[in-house]
Chain A
């Protein structure tokens, strides 16, 4: 899932300073799952903004709502009616959701309320870890199920750098060296020799990427 973390309150108020009608929009997707941008967090931020405004002697109306998912046009549509009442929207969704709102409501100032940091897994409750960067060319099938692109600090393709020590990555002692993991797993799987093959440079071609699934596209049923 996508993992994000709340932006500082200072940053948020700096951006909404001059507005009177503010909405805080949660998303029912990943950010809910990570307790960062669900209904509860939207309510908390809205409450905080109202307190702030009141203290500033500002007359600001803050509302909150949560969309099923901000990255789907149909769900974004669901706030159409209310959107007219807002000057600025703080989205607690990931960067994707924020942009969907911004595209749909060109007259509203859309701000991210969180910093999207990575795609990752829950290691244990309250601890999430990056696992994928969406590189567009998944190689974990050849690296023992561990991604060196996302999990090696240097995205090395041909084995560990000289800083790998005791299974730890040179950049941080609490990060395992993914190449150590890859090496062990490949040996365990009897695929160790594959690591001796030189892997060519990766294709980092065009961003933004686009994907089309022809069979899911709209069918024009007009005569």
Chain B
């Protein structure tokens, strides 16, 4: 069957690396963690880091927002990354002779290395610092991104075979021409953006004034930086916020963050901002510094109040000073974190052209600089870049270098359009399910050290969160060859999705499909299937569990019992364990509404002596209507068994709650089946 998807889930489209968020979230919901992780890793070499500090464009785009809140995609990625699976990456289809030089071992450089190696190239990474990681190591503080997590990501990349040469500054220790001479056929400049911008106000040279990145770098690299009691941090971005929170952890009593505009305009992450507020950072808004006081050391900061005027080029309202609003803050340390720009002087001496903004000039698609064999990406080309943007650049540049080296034209990837938002009447049909809250260290203890603040989802929470995903653009499809236009799907869908358009001859299922599977089971023509590659409606799983039936002894009879249960259900783990303890074959499906009567019959055909459906009525079912449909099919199948003269008890429906009762009825059931003897008298 040829399935054409018109439009893609917005989470996937919004992501700069088109991470298949929906797919891994769906797999996670089915507890298939390993496969989910591999999907993440196939496009993202920094799962553990991204799962913590990503700017989450996917969540901004998530369609679940119109129902309640976006799916916590990022934290789900983190959950997967923290499971420590070994990446299972495809071997390069071919080994090429060329070696590529990568300058800078930040996420852009490392991602490019990852992709180039998987494409079949060798590469050497040159890094000025002693350790790889770039800003993730020397910028982002450990309480947000622990070193172990970063190291895990980096080690996984390096273990693919990239050569890392630290302590070498390209441009200073070795020139671009040297690299060419040494035989590198292409160079990727991923040098980041490390030169702090200055305030250009009097007193900036006083001791006690330090740039945000320098401050953070010293904390990481142990440069002996200290803070006193009162700290003023200037800026509104991630660096400013991190510097402020780090200052608190370094022992500062009173930390103020001074920002020109209001809270809404702050470019930093909202989650981080909230956490900072909790920790006691003071936000001094609509304020700009005018002068730093002090003799041998900073003692005060003169500030002016601002008001917001017309929007500027960035679309944000321009701050205008309020005359006569000056005031002075008593501070001991001033951290300036108003942005940074790439260090390009050396490179421009090497012939690389620089843009007006001070970034390396590139072609937006091929990522190549004005020198054909030199490419650039990451923060070096984007002011205020992000981790995922850097990864995207790394991935894209790798492809472009491959094309360049193979003499192929670079294929501009076709952009898939995101599917439309859910229509308001449909939103009404979808169940509200609150977003899971991230467990965190208590405020009192977290400001004492650099331990990670966000603790990560435990498994049950992760699964619960994952099943909130609406599986956008990946629901059911109709095979027009088989569809008889019977309207069954149109009539049974709890979400009013399938339609036979006016004048149409076959049913169509739009991207709003919730993947509940009701129509798939009800379609008499077998014309509907779930696009979702991970959904087998219990059929294949049944085959695989039944394959394991041991040969039946003639003297000793142990009944073969198959249990179908919802893997979405919060009790599923305990239940499934209990079932297995009882020697029951377990088939997990994502909602029992996906069980076909023929699958239940198939179980008997495969020599089951009894079948039990574990149907939760706990109210935390993702598909509320699913339960009703499942029950109907259960009754329908029961009638079949009756006509066969099979004992009614061989098909059971048990509720997993209350647990005590479930265990009791389960053992009663098993006893009963034992007494009934086998369905087939094997001779």
Contact = CB atoms under 8 A, between A and B. Distances in A.
Given A33-B486, A34-B486, A35-B488, A47 B644 contact: no
Contacts of B683: 57
Nearest to B679: A55
B601 A44 contact: yes
Contacts of A38: 484, 524-526
Nearest to A55: B680
B640 A28 contact: no
Given A10-B643, A54-B680, A40 B601 contact: no
Contacts of B488: 35, 125
Given A40-B598, A47-B601, A52-B644, A35 B680 contact: no
Contact of B525 (A32, A51, A122): A32
Contact of B491 (A8, A48, A50, A125): A125
A36 B486 CA distance: 12
B486 A35 contact: yes
Contact of B605 (A32, A39, A40, A47): A47
A40 B523 contact: yes
Interface string B467-493: 000000000000000101111100110
Nearest to B604: A51
Contacts of A122: 487
A50 B525 CA distance: 21
Interface string B452-476: 0000000000000000000000000
Contact of A9 (B487, B643, B680): B643
B643 A8 contact: yes
A29 B484 contact: yes
Contacts of B523: 40
Contacts of B602: 47
Contacts of B645: 55
A70 interface: no
Interface string A39-64: 11101100110111011010000000
A9 B643 CA distance: 6
Contacts of A29: 484
B597 interface: yes
A51 B605 CA distance: 6
22 contacts: A8-B643, A29-B484, A32-B524, A33-B484, A34-B524, A36-B524, A38-B484, A38-B526, A39-B525, A39-B526, A40-B598, A41-B524, A44-B640, A48-B640, A48-B644, A50-B605, A51-B646, A52-B644, A54-B605, A54-B680, A55-B680, A66-B525
5 nearest interchain CB pairs? A38-B524, A9-B643, A33-B486, A47-B601, A35-B524
Given A48-B601, A50-B605, 9 more contacts: A28-B525, A38-B524, A40-B524, A44-B597, A44-B598, A54-B605, A55-B644, A55-B679, A125-B488
Interface of A: 8-10, 28-29, 32-36, 38-41, 43-44, 47-48, 50-52, 54-55, 57, 66, 122, 125
